[in-house]
Amino acid sequence: MANWEKITDTMARDYGYGTKKGKCLLTVAALCYAAKQGLVRLDDNNLIEGPIPSCIGEFGTDFSVNGMRSRLHNLFTLFPDHVHVLLTHDLNAFTIKNIPALITEIRLDERLSE
């Protein structure tokens, strides 16, 4: 299985962590990190899903559960065909159907160019 955390983190660094594309890719990297930690599920078909995790320890305070909620909501708004988010007062869950397809969409999306 591909190391999506490393791939997306490297891409985010190349685009610049502060750019729109970099932020989107870093969010995917954080979710892949959470999968390696067993906090969410990543299957052999590159589907990743689970409760919205906190990745503060590895990625900083912007990656708390509330920060991740916001980041995932932004990904859903931009890429509704690839990202699903369930947000209520007691439910925080997400699904990314296909990590490579989402990465391709992020890289090609002109709305994220600065």
Could you read off the pLDDT of 26-75 as tens digits, one per residue? Answer: 999 999 999 999 999 999 999 999 999 999 988 888 899 999 999 999 99
pLDDT over 70 at 91, yes or no: yes
What pLDDT shows up at residue 90?
76
Beta bridge partners of 49: 41, 95
Residue 2: partners with Cβ closer than 8 Å, 6 or more residues away = 46, 100
Tokens coding 37: 């930690």
| Count of structural domains within the chain | 1
Q: Is the pLDDT of residue 1 over 70?
A: no
Q: What is the mean pLDDT of the chain?
A: 92
Spatial separation of the C-alpha atoms in residues 49 and 40, rounded to whole Å: 6
Q: What is the pLDDT of residue 89?
A: 78
Domain carrying residue 78:
4-112
Is the pLDDT at 5 greater than 80, yes or no? yes
Res. 76: pLDDT tops 60: yes
* Cα 94 from Cα 78, distance rounded (Å): 15
Query: Residue 82: which of 114, 47, 55 has the closest Cα?
Result: 47
H/E/C letters for each residue in 35-92?
A: HHCCCCEECCCCCEEEECCCCHHHHCHHHCHHHHHHHHHHHHHHCCCCEEEEECCCCE
Task: Give the mean pLDDT of 104-108.
Answer: 95
pTM of the model: 0.93
